[in-house]
Amino acid sequence: MKMKRWVTAEPDAEVVRSLVAACGFSPLAAAALCARGVKTPEQARAFLSSDPASLHDPMLLPDMARAVEMVRGAVGRGEKIAVFGDYDVDGITSTCLLTRYLRAQGADVVYYIPDRLREGYGLSVEAMDAIHAQGVRLIVTVDSGISAFEEVDRAVALGMEVVITDHHECREKLPAAGAVVNPCRPDSAYPFASLAGVGVAFKLICALEGEGSQQRLLEKFADLVALGTVADVMPLVGENRTIVAAGLRRMEHTRNMGIEMLLREAGQKERRLTASVISFILAPRINAAGRMGHADMAAELFLTDDPRRAQNLAAALCDLNKQRQAAENRILEQALVQLHREYNPLEDQVIVLAGENWHHGVIGIVSSRICDRYSCPTVLIAMDGDKGKGSGRSIKGFNLYDALEHSSDLLEKFGGHELAAGLTVDRENIPALKERLAAYAAEYTDPHELMPVLRIDSAVTPEMITEKNIEGLSVLEPFGMGNAQPIFSMEEMLVEEITPISSDRHVRLTLTKDGVPYTAMLFGTGSGGCGFAQGNYVDAAFNLDINEFRGRRNIQLVIKDVRLSTCEAMADQKFLNLYNYYMADRRLSAADARILLPDRRDLVAVWRHILSRSEDGRLTVPSNALSRRVSWESRRPINIGKLFVCLDVFSESQLLSYHFREGQLNIIIKHVEGKADISRSVVLRTLQEMSE
């Protein structure tokens, strides 16, 4: 795993005090606002506003007047209208929103969501033919269509009219539709360009309803619009903040039977609803329908008014999500086996893996998980015969779309953007694709820029961490892209306890600062993955929560990253200086030699740890973490200098090889016939002589 680079804001103390005094914010909330560039009461009110009266006029969107004219005309003439959507949450909610509204106006409406597994993303010529065969006269796209040049031409040639509503980036040329409504158009005068696809669809129904209708329609449909907006990871600022705040309120008393039953099936009906509930609980269940080839099932859920049918559909979506999780975990397990065999984390800057019978509706999630885990651009390819369908995820600093464009001659097709992309490739071209992407990374990226950045709103002290101040952070909600839950940091916290939980998948820590103990949760890392041990001093970056359990409330730190404090690094440096002095063939004093000299139990402890933690004969850890992990597990006093001596002894004996770069230590275990004899080690014998 790569280390994170911390970027800590330093909010102006006077500005923080003025926001507290003028607006009544808690000091933590004021510090977070200040870190995000909000420095006056006026700016704070504008940033935090979720007043529906502030919604922008939908008629400012390009081609909106023409879109309204075309849709009203089709409705008035009784013509059949098709709403063409997408299989993700944004596309499904967009489809249902517009379909519900038009049906309520008496329109003859059908909807079409492409099958992810059979048709792939977006419009297709075959879909245009199928829609025309149903007698459709007008197609209105939602969350799609901005790049559908050939498909729109086909629809027009068949005698159908097309209105495109989308929010994806536009090319210089637009499809030949009757209207193209997109806030990202270069000629758009709309003040907010970050609407989700469902946000643009909402603006269309507001324009169709007429002036003064936005607040009323938001009250009616905010839950659907919020679902798509949050799930599509749109920035929760400006209009999106207004939409999502209204949507979360609406969900608590929703009249959409599908949302009601989905909340019940997911166990969230009586709980406080936040954007995180949408992101991590509701959205995966809705997305599972599309990923597993049943997007129509999710659409029907949000369109039905039958409680029994809604309950059955919600239960089915939850079951599909379990199937998706099982497929995802199976692919992840297979991918990691391949990864540990092929990937050198100290040399490779891109991960490309291909597997047989991988579900290509799921590989995008697995690609994202591997990308997050290794902080490395990742492409997974699901093979089917001689063809492979791939899905890639990237990190800031590596433009995945550009990288694929440099490999376009090897690909049948590809598309996407900087951080996510899809592709189709012949089996025989996969080795060349790996080489081409590696060459692109070497030529066009700076490894330092690929180090993930953790942005911290403010360093804090114990007196700032109170229940009242933490509760005051709620004024910043809803949290999401563009308005993340605040991250704070504290330096030189003493690690009092490390307690594995959930079969050592997570760790509960007791950290102390100035005599004040804190419970901290480190999720996704077992005790063996900690780069520190009891008694060490660490710097921690965390979210602040109030944990309520059995009527008791406790402050809890949710760790986002943790690193050894400067005092620990200085101690390491002392031992490393000693080790480097010795390796330069300089003679140590007997006392210094004994500091570096491992005894048999030390050597055994290091070797056992490496064997138990390695996968496929490899172990990669932060260079300053291994000695602490071994010390904690074995209760042996093994400093970093002594650790390197142990590694040198094993290297001399041909048991392993190791090297490190950018703070990462990479160990490769070698296969040795018979029993290795470490007694002949020159490194060990020389240290023993010096220690006498």
DSSP per position, 14-71: HHHHHHHHHH---HHHHHHHHHTT--SHHHHHHHH---GGGPPPGGGSTTHHHHHHHH
Q: Report the DSSP beta bridge partners of residue 549.
A: 552
CATH code 3.10.310.30 for 350-444 = yes
Do the domains 5-9+455-564 and 350-444 sit in the same CATH topology, yes or no? no
User: Would you state the CATH architecture of domain 5-9+455-564?
Assistant: Beta Barrel (2.40)
Binned at pLDDT 50, 70 and 90, residue 1 comes out as: very low
Quick one: average pLDDT of 6-32?
95
Map out the domains of the chain as residue ranges: 5-9+455-564, 53-319, 350-444, 568-691
The pLDDT value recorded for residue 448 is 67
Q: What is the pLDDT of residues 512-521, one digit of tens each?
A: 999 999 999 9
Residue 274 structure tokens: 């936040």
Question: Which residue matches tokens 């299989």?
Answer: 87
Q: How far is CA 42 from the centre of its chain?
A: 32
Quick one: average pLDDT of 489-501?
95
Q: Of all helices (H) and strands (E), which one includes residue 371?
A: helix 363-374
Question: Which residue matches tokens 């598309």?
Answer: 415
Q: What is the pLDDT of residues 387-408, one digit of tens each?
A: 999 999 998 888 898 999 999 9
Binned at pLDDT 50, 70 and 90, residue 679 comes out as: confident
The pLDDT value recorded for residue 473 is 96
Assess contact for 390 and 377: CB atoms under 8 A. no
Give the C-alpha distances (Å, rounded to integers) separating 49 from 150, 317, 476: 42, 35, 10
Closest CA to 526 of 548, 504, 494, 544: 504
Assess contact for 142 and 98: CB atoms under 8 A. yes
Q: Report the DSSP beta bridge partners of residue 420.
A: 393
Cβ neighbors of 600 (< 8 A, separation 6 or more) are: none
Based on the number of CB atoms within 10 Å of its own CB, is 529 exposed (0-12), middle (13-18) or buried (19 or more)?
middle
The pLDDT mean for the chain works out to 92
Top CATH class of 568-691 equals mainly alpha
Assess contact for 378 and 371: CB atoms under 8 A. yes
Query: Mean pLDDT lowest for which of 29-33, 183-187, 412-416, 608-612?
Result: 412-416
Cα–Cα distance for residue pair 593/683, rounded to 1 Å: 11
Quick one: average pLDDT of 288-310?
94
Residue 302 structure tokens: 């949000």
The pLDDT value recorded for residue 348 is 82
Closest CA to 65 of 145, 154, 163, 158: 163
Cα–Cα distance for residue pair 323/315, rounded to 1 Å: 13
Closest CA to 556 of 565, 569, 545: 545
Length in residues, the chain? 692
The pLDDT value recorded for residue 607 is 94
Cα–Cα distance for residue pair 591/692, rounded to 1 Å: 9
CATH of domain 53-319: 3.90.1640.30
346 has pLDDT over 70? no
DSSP category for residue 677 = -
Q: What is the pLDDT of residues 526-577, one digit of tens each?
A: 877 788 888 899 999 999 999 887 778 899 999 999 999 999 989 999 999 9
Quick one: average pLDDT of 179-186?
95
Quick one: average pLDDT of 642-661?
90
Peptide bond connecting 307 to the previous residue in cis, omega within 30 degrees of 0: no
